[in-house]
Structure 1
Amino acid sequence: MSQLHITWYGHSNVMLSENGVSVLFDPFFEGNRFAPDWREIPRPDIVALTHDHGDHMGQTVEIVRTTGAMLYCIADLVGYFRERGVPEGQIINYGMGGNVDGTLEFKGTKLTMTQAFHSAAMGSPVGYVVEMPGGHTVYHAGDTGLFGDMTLIADRFNLDLALLPIGGVFTMDGRLAAKAAGLLGAPVAMPMHYRTFPVLAQNADLFVESLKEFAPTCRPLVIEPNEMVVLD
C-alpha cells in the first residue's frame, strides 16, 4: 500500500494525495482564518463538495475553473455551478454529478457518496468514501450528526481513516464523533470542523478522551492547520 498524504487547511477543508492523485474536500479558504491563499496550494485533481453552505463550498468555483480540476457534487448543485461558469466537462459523471450510494471513478480513484444528517439550501448534504489509487480508503463525513447507519459504511468499506467533525452546535461534538468512530471501525480518526469559529469546540481534547471509551482501538490523528502528515 502506498503512502497517503493528508493536509488539513482548517475546518473541513482537507487534501488527500496518493500515487500522484489529489482530492480536495470542501475548499473553504477565504474567511477561514487557518487556510492559506487557495492559489498557493498544490493543484487538486478532484474537488469533492459535501454541501452548499459557504464554509464548505468556499472557493469551489474559482479552484475548479482555474486549475481544471474535476468537480464531484450532488446532482442538484450542478446547475448552480454551470451558471457560474464551471464547464460541463469538468463535472464528474458527464456533467451530472452524483447522489447517495453512487460510486464514480476518476484517475483510478473511486468516490462514493454517503448520507449525512445536516441541512443544505440546495440538494442534500453528503459525505464521501474515497478509495485512493494506492489502496487507502478514507471516509470524509462532511457536516453530520451521529447516525446509526454508519455501521453500514463499516460493512461496505474497510476504512483506513475517518475524518469526523467534532465542533458541536452544527455537527457532532467530540463525544458523539468518538461514538461515530466506534461504529465505523476505522483504525485512525482525524477531527475536523473545529477551532475555526468561536462557537465551535476550540480543541480536540473531548474527542481524544472519548475515543478511549467508545473506540479504544482507534488512534486519534490530531494535526495542526496546514500540517501535512503521512499515513502508511
Structure 2
Amino acid sequence: MKITFFTHSTCILEIHEKHLLIDPFFSKNPIFRNIDFLKFTKNLEKIDYILLTHAHYDHVCDVEFFSRKFTNSLVISNYEISNYFDKKGINTYGINYGSFISFPFGKLKYVWAVHSSVFDDGTYGGNPGGFLLHTDEGNLYISGDTSLTYEMNLIPNFGKLGLSILPIGGRYTMDINEAVIASEFLKCEKILGVHYNTFSSIQINKKQAKKIFYEKGKELILLKMGESIDI
C-alpha cells in the first residue's frame, strides 16, 4: 500500500492498482495561492474512488472537479454526503456507521468521529466519520477530523493497524498530545499527521511534535507535498 500526501488531509492511497483519493482540497486551499492547481493535478492520471470523511469545504471542495475528470470514479461517504453528490450526477456509494463493506481494494468500515459536518451552502452533511480500511497489504485507519474519543479503543479489536492517519493541528481537531493518546488507544506505533499548518489557526512545531511522539515510543510521520510512503 502506497500513500501520497498532498496537503491538509488530502492523500492518495494505491492498493492493488486502485487509486483512492481522500478528502480533496486543492482549489480553495491557501497553500495553492502560488501554485497552479490545474497544472498540479494534471499529473494525476487515475482516480478510482473518492473517500470523504465529512462535508466541510476543506475536505470536499474539489469532489466535482475530480469526478468530472475521472468519470468512472466512485464517491464513498456517508448517506447524506453521497445523496448530495448523487443529485449532481456523480457516482456515489452511501454508507454509514456499520459493518465492513467489501470493495476491489479491500474492506472498508465507516467509523465514529467527533466533529461537525455541513456543506458551504448550508446543506446538512450527516454524521462525520473516519474510515477503517483492511487489505491484504495492511490495515489503515483514517480518522477524519475528530477530537480524541474513547471509541478509538474499539478499532484495534478488528485487527492490527499498520498506520493511522490523524489530525494534529488542534483547535478544530485533536492536537499533538491528544493524538499521542489516540495512538495508544489505537495500539498503533506509526502515525501520519495531517490537518496542520494549512491555516494560521492550526500551526504546529514539527520538530517538537515528532519529539513528543518519539518520547512515547511512537513515530510521527510528516510528509512534504507530493511525498509518499509504503506500509
Query: Above 0.5 in TM-score?
Result: yes
Q: Percent identity?
A: 28
Q: Per-residue CA shift, 1:49-69, capped at 9, x if unaligned?
A: 000000001211221232121
Instruction: Report if the CA contact (8 A) 2:102-2:108 is conserved.
Output: yes
Code of the residue aligned with 1:50 in structure 2: it is: T
Q: Distance in 1 between matches of 2:107 and 2:197?
A: 30
- 1:175 maps to 177
Instruction: Report if the CA contact (8 A) 2:113-2:144 is conserved.
Output: yes
- 1:56 maps to 59
Code of the residue aligned with 1:230 in structure 2: it is: D
- 2:151 maps to 149
Instruction: Report if the CA contact (8 A) 1:70-1:91 is conserved.
Output: yes
Give the deviation of 1:171 after TM superposition.
Answer: 0.4
Give the deviation of 1:135 after TM superposition.
Answer: 2.2
Q: Per-residue CA shift, 1:118-140, capped at 9, x if unaligned?
A: 011220100001123x4211111
Gaps of 5+ in 2: 119-124
- 1:189 maps to 191
Give the aligned length: 218
Q: Secondary structure at the match of 2:174?
A: coil
Give the deviation of 1:189 after TM superposition.
Answer: 0.7
The runs of at least 4 consecutive aligned structure 1 residues that moved more than 6 Å come to none
Residue of structure 2 aligned with 1:73, choices 52, 72, 77: 77
Code of the residue aligned with 1:200 in structure 2: it is: I
Instruction: Report if the CA contact (8 A) 1:194-1:203 is conserved.
Output: no
Q: Distance in 2 between matches of 1:140 and 1:203?
A: 22
Code of the residue aligned with 2:126 in structure 1: it is: G
Q: Counterparts of 1:7-86 in structure 2 under 5 Å?
A: 7-32=4-29, 33=31, 37-67=40-70, 68-86=72-90
Q: Distance in 2 between matches of 1:203 and 1:5?
A: 26
Give the deviation of 1:222 after TM superposition.
Answer: 1.9
Higher mean C-alpha deviation, range 47-56 or range 66-75: 66-75
Give the deviation of 1:204 after TM superposition.
Answer: 2.9
Give the deviation of 1:154 after TM superposition.
Answer: 1.5
What CA RMSD, in Å, does the superposition of the two structures yield over aligned residues?
Answer: 1.8
Q: Counterparts of 1:91-102 in structure 2 under 5 Å?
A: 91-92=92-93, 97-102=94-99
Q: Secondary structure at the match of 1:73?
A: strand
Give the deviation of 1:206 after TM superposition.
Answer: 4.2
Higher mean C-alpha deviation, range 27-36 or range 75-84: 27-36
Q: Distance in 2 between matches of 1:204 and 1:181?
A: 17
Larger relative strand fraction: 2
Q: Per-residue CA shift, 1:198-224, capped at 9, x if unaligned?
A: 1112443343222245x41x3222211
Q: Distance in 1 between matches of 2:157 and 2:208?
A: 27
Instruction: Report if the CA contact (8 A) 2:16-2:105 is conserved.
Output: no
Q: Secondary structure at the match of 2:200?
A: coil
Instruction: Report if the CA contact (8 A) 2:52-2:59 is conserved.
Output: yes
